[in-house]
Structure 1
Amino acid sequence: MSKSTRVPGYMQSKGARNRGPLGDREIRYKCSMQNTILDVLRARPGWQEVSGEGDWDFHWCDREWLHANYDTMFLQEHQKILHFRNHYELTRKNLMVKNLKRLRKQTEREMGKKEAESFDFYPTTYELPSEYHIFVEEFKKNQGIIWIMKPAAKSQGRGIFLFRKLKDITDWKKGEYQPLTDPNREVPETYVVQRYIEDPYLIGGRKFDIRVYVLVVSYNPLKVWLYRSGFARFSNSRFSLDSIEDAYVHLTNVAVQKTAPDYDPDKGCKWATQQLRSYLTAKHGSDAARRVFQGIDNIIIKSLQSVQKIIINDKHCFEMYGYDVLLDDKLKPWLIEINASPSLTASGKDDYDLKHGVLNDVLNVLDLENRLTGKEKRVGGFDLIWDDGAVTTDDGAMECSVNSVSTTSNSFLGCHCDRKKHLREIYTAAQALKKSTPS
């Protein structure tokens, strides 16, 4: 990456107003994590770590810290902090589906059933215990199919199980009908129950899902960046519906798979998104592969629109989401969940390099150094796909080396990611433009 160019003109953060403009000093940051993001921040030219209650310009905080401190904070003009106040409206599994259902109904009411069909990308889902009776009615209509239970607010595969019979969730449901006055009453944890996708697309007989990185810098107006690279996470065991209790068959979470007896930590269970796109193109053709990734674009935009009017927008906040998407055997993408804190701990060198690049480019998009023009459609590995409306490519700008079909979308998920070369080019162009523009 090119070296930092510090430009005068920023306001100081609280308690530092007599130290000169931000461009005359190092950018101060705080970080709650001890993984790849801390490595990125420490290696970034012109950035200095502060501790305790020290004055800061940038804070990569955890969700718990934000919830405890956001309402009492006063942020200066230039300060940036990870997470919007109520990010959970999209990242808690029950609220995500609730918001998607609401926008789908609104779309059908205002634009008709055909347009509402563009929301058909999440499985039939109910919240338990509140919608238990509605779920039972649906269950009885579809005897013999498999359902999956997930805690609404947990990650890394914790608490998930599959079942075919109602009696399999009896123990979970016990507390629901205990009298409210019972001092020993245990209120069941909120879960979602979803119709399990029984026909996933398999590669080498194994199930996988796709991790996609999405950066939202504003909800009002909605401004969304999509990272070109990601990875497909494979199960360690061949897929089968005969053993629905086997987590190594059905759950692709790395936290689960790495505990498998025959897991190979050197090989891992991941493919780069570029490798997956090349495979799909070779096997099914470029049009089919393009439709897969356009479907993922649709999932991203529709899901963000479902919470656009609910999220507390704050120009100081940003969010880096980890989307998990599954393909069925017809190559239809399904939204599984959205993570507000996708894992930044690397499982190997390739994984570290990917996450190091993603995080560096998050900082490049946020541009605290004021090195960009603000008009860029691409910054490193991030492409701007929505800016209060769909973002289209410049004429002839289709750069995906594995897909020769032209497109008007500015999305290049799974395409070649020459991020370092591109960063050098845009910083050189921005610097030249600023020099030629009268102040």
Structure 2
Amino acid sequence: MSEMDGASRNFSFNHLAFVILVVGVVLTAFNVYDFIGGLKDESVNNTLKELNGDCDYEKPKVWIHAKNMETGYLKHVKSVFGRLGFSFGDNTSDWDVLWSHEYPFKELKSMLKGMMPHQKVNHFPGCGFITNKVSLSTSGSTHIPKTFKLPENKNELMEFAQLNPEILFVQKSNSHRGIKVEKLDTMNLDSSQNFVQQYISKPYLIDGYKFDIGVYTILTSIDPLRVYVYSGDVLFRFCPEKYYPFDSEIVNKYVVGDDYLPIWNVPSLKNYYNNLGLSMKDSFDAYLNSIGKAPEKVWNQVYEAIANIYLLKEPYLIESTSHYKNSLNFFEMVRIDFIIDEDLNVFIMEANMSPNLSSAHFPPNQLLYEQVIYNLMSLVGIGTRIQKFGLHHSPDDVEEMQVSFKNLAVEASRCSKKICSSCLAPQCLICKPCLTSNTIEILKNAYLEHENRLSTRRVFPPPMNTTTRRADIDLEKLSPENQLMYHWFQGKCKMDVTWCS
């Protein structure tokens, strides 16, 4: 055998050995990687269990409580919950969120009195003081047409009508939606189920059509009060027939019904909405700007009217909620409907407790409804950035990561003064030594709402002027809790302009 043959065999043997070695190393590495991956999965699972109180992994649960669900009118509500990772349960499950289409505090009252701190309900006890037509219309707000409750205000109504013979009236009832302009002598003025309201006879028209504006309004807290609106869009609904020549017998000229004229079919607005891709609100604003009118006049009144209504009704909400463990269990979204007159004065027509969120009749409204629901859930902490399984409280370090006291501290120059060392001065109550644990929890919620508000806008406490850092508000008329909340937002505004509105 030559030296060359021996060398060749040795090379072949060494090459084979090297290949076997490499394969072995690769297989070993794969097994080690697989083992480590298993450990990592186990570690993740253990961490999740630790975060959730050593319980098994579960998605947060929503219980949707409504009648005739098979018709699909809550389809978009279910879709958004599903996209946020919720599973669907019922009253027998450990639900995290109760979304009730009906007022839940009659049928479910006893169960809701035993709620755990993490559970959330989409209505406030006593919300009927806002959504009840009689209660809302007789609240005394300057943004509501003059209203007479029957039969106790019958004589006052007749006297007012005699002094103002040009004014028209409509009779309304809590039990039905239909209204019609009528003469007083044809109305039943002795029924306790009805009330009579001044009719705004000179509405602002676009292309000859009367319309209303639905603003989605979110209540997150009472005592102190915090109210937001969804600012990403509003719902415009137009009467299907032109207003003039006016005929009270043709209600489609002045009453918005289910078969309303949508904005995408209104000549002066459809280019903005259809071709330029603007929202309903932005289309309306662009139109007003194009004819030399200021849309800000409308929206400032809208936000003022909403804040005013909730301030007027807050004492009733506080009393109703006092029968439950904690007001932090509740949130609420309603749609408040407005009309404007030819001088751009704004009037509240009604507030809808469970507004229509179905796009079955008008499919283009799907995006509006789903964005409203998504923004609502983000604002109240249901759709959270922190991955959680269930809405149980997170460990302290996770909560601290989201909001710690340094995020709450304001008014350094004031709080460092000697006068605030005793906490006797009212202006010192937002300083750290003077805050109670309950107030700190309230401020943490307010902070997280601001961080998670997306396209919602705070209307109370009202936005602060970015120059003076003050809002046009009479502080002396606010409760101590609302004054403290206002001063805290004012302190945050001084530190960061994004907190001013």
- Give the Å deviation of 1:368: 3.1
Equivalence for 2:167? 145
Equivalence for 1:427? none
Equivalence for 2:368? 354
1:159 aligns with 2:178: yes
**Retained in 2: the 8 A contact 1:324–1:335?**
yes
CA shift in 2, pair 1:218/1:42, >3 Å:
closer
Provide the C-alpha distance between the structure 1 equivalents of 2:308 and 2:365, rounded to a whole number of angstroms. Answer: 28
- Give the Å deviation of 1:53: 2.4
Residue 193 (structure 1) aligned to one of 196, 213, 218: 196
Deviation track 1:273-313 (CA, whole Å, cap 9, x = no partner) reads 1211111122124xx22121111111010011001111034
Q: Tell me the amino acid that sits aligned with residue 301 of structure 2.
A: G
**Retained in 2: the 8 A contact 1:36–1:352?**
no
Q: Secondary structure at the match of 2:315?
A: coil
Q: Secondary structure at the match of 1:233?
A: strand
- Give the Å deviation of 1:37: 4.0
- Give the Å deviation of 1:51: 2.9
CA shift in 2, pair 1:10/1:194, >3 Å:
farther
Q: How many residues align?
A: 340
1:338 aligns with 2:317: no
Q: Tell me the amino acid that sits aligned with residue 282 of structure 1.
A: S
Equivalence for 2:434? none
> How is 1:54-93 mapped onto 2 (pairs within 5 angstroms)?
54-73=93-112, 74-93=114-133
- Give the Å deviation of 1:264: 8.5
1:250 aligns with 2:257: no
Provide the C-alpha distance between the structure 1 equivalents of 2:225 and 2:83, rounded to a whole number of angstroms. Answer: 28
> How is 1:84-233 mapped onto 2 (pairs within 5 angstroms)?
84-98=124-138, 100-101=139-140, 119-154=141-176, 158-163=177-182, 165-169=183-187, 172-173=188-189, 176=190, 188=191, 190-228=193-231, 229-233=233-237
Deviation track 1:322-355 (CA, whole Å, cap 9, x = no partner) reads 0111111011111111111111111323211100
Equivalence for 2:475? none
Residue 330 (structure 2) aligned to one of 303, 314, 317: 317
- Give the Å deviation of 1:199: 0.7
Equivalence for 1:26? 59
Identity of aligned residues (%): 20
Question: Rg bigger for which structure?
Answer: 2
Provide the C-alpha distance between the structure 2 equivalents of 1:10 and 1:310, rounded to a whole number of angstroms. Answer: 41
**Retained in 2: the 8 A contact 1:36–1:355?**
no
- Give the Å deviation of 1:366: 1.6
CA shift in 2, pair 1:378/1:325, >3 Å:
farther
Q: Tell me the amino acid that sits aligned with residue 48 of structure 1.
A: S
CA shift in 2, pair 1:393/1:265, >3 Å:
closer
Provide the C-alpha distance between the structure 2 equivalents of 1:289 and 1:10, rounded to a whole number of angstroms. Answer: 52
Provide the C-alpha distance between the structure 1 equivalents of 2:175 and 2:84, rounded to a whole number of angstroms. Answer: 37
Q: Which has the higher strand share?
A: 1
Equivalence for 2:33? none
- Give the Å deviation of 1:377: 5.5
Q: Tell me the amino acid that sits aligned with residue 246 of structure 2.
A: D
User: Pairwise CA RMSD of aligned residues?
Assistant: 3.1
Provide the C-alpha distance between the structure 2 equivalents of 1:332 and 1:88, rounded to a whole number of angstroms. Answer: 26
Provide the C-alpha distance between the structure 1 equivalents of 2:296 and 2:452, rounded to a whole number of angstroms. Answer: 20
Q: Secondary structure at the match of 1:353?
A: helix
Which consecutive unaligned segments of at least 5 residues does structure 1 have? 1-5, 102-118, 177-187, 396-406, 410-439
- Give the Å deviation of 1:40: 2.8
Provide the C-alpha distance between the structure 1 equivalents of 2:225 and 2:49, rounded to a whole number of angstroms. Answer: 26
Which consecutive unaligned segments of at least 5 residues does structure 2 have? 1-44, 67-71, 274-279, 322-326, 386-401, 404-446, 472-501
Q: Secondary structure at the match of 1:239?
A: coil
Equivalence for 2:87? 48
Equivalence for 1:423? none
Q: Tell me the amino acid that sits aligned with residue 27 of structure 1.
A: P
Residue 311 (structure 2) aligned to one of 305, 310, 314: 305
Q: Tell me the amino acid that sits aligned with residue 463 of structure 2.
A: V
Deviation track 1:21-60 (CA, whole Å, cap 9, x = no partner) reads xxx5311001135424433345323210013522200011
Residue 459 (structure 2) aligned to one of 385, 390, 393: 385
Deviation track 1:161-192 (CA, whole Å, cap 9, x = no partner) reads 211x22211xx35xx4xxxxxxxxxxx35122
Q: Tell me the amino acid that sits aligned with residue 248 of structure 2.
A: I
Provide the C-alpha distance between the structure 2 equivalents of 1:294 and 1:342, rounded to a whole number of angstroms. Answer: 23
Moved more, 307-316 or 352-361: 307-316
- Give the Å deviation of 1:121: 1.6
